[in-house]
Amino acid sequence: MELNIGKWGNSQGVRLPKELLRQLSVDVGASLEAVVVDNALVLRPVRSSKRTLRELLDASPGLSDSTVHGTPPPRTSGRPRKHDGELDWGLPVGKEEW
């Protein structure tokens, strides 16, 4: 597929056809990484490094929903359990407001 370099204000750019975006599974506003390999321009989608809370907890030894949310272990009797209260995260380490 041949594309043309165009001028937009003080910048130059290449318009990417919708079909190319579909093949890369990206949309308008997505970030692309550009590298030159063997005198060829290669564009790769930049996948977000943001992870869900579940992924962060699973990757952190010693952390679970119960330690983060103060959730008590499962009940063994039919009696409701009292909440254990707040968690102690330690002393402030930066400019936190307590």
pLDDT tens per residue, range 34-81: 999 999 999 998 877 777 777 777 777 665 555 555 555 555 555 555
DSSP conformation letters of 24-89 = HT--TT--EEEEEETTEEEEEE-------HHHHHHHSTT--HHHHH-PPPPPSSSSPPPP------
Q: What is the rounded CA–CA span in Å between residue 17 and residue 67?
A: 48
* 95 secondary structure, DSSP code: S
Q: Write down all domains in the chain, each with its CATH number in brackets.
A: 5-45 (2.10.260.10)
Please give the backbone phi and psi of residue 40, each rounded to the nearest 5 degrees, phi first.
Answer: -125, 140
Q: At 6, is the pLDDT very low, low, confident or very high (cuts 50, 70, 90)?
A: very high
* pTM, 2 dp: 0.45
15, 8 in Cβ contact below 8 A?
no
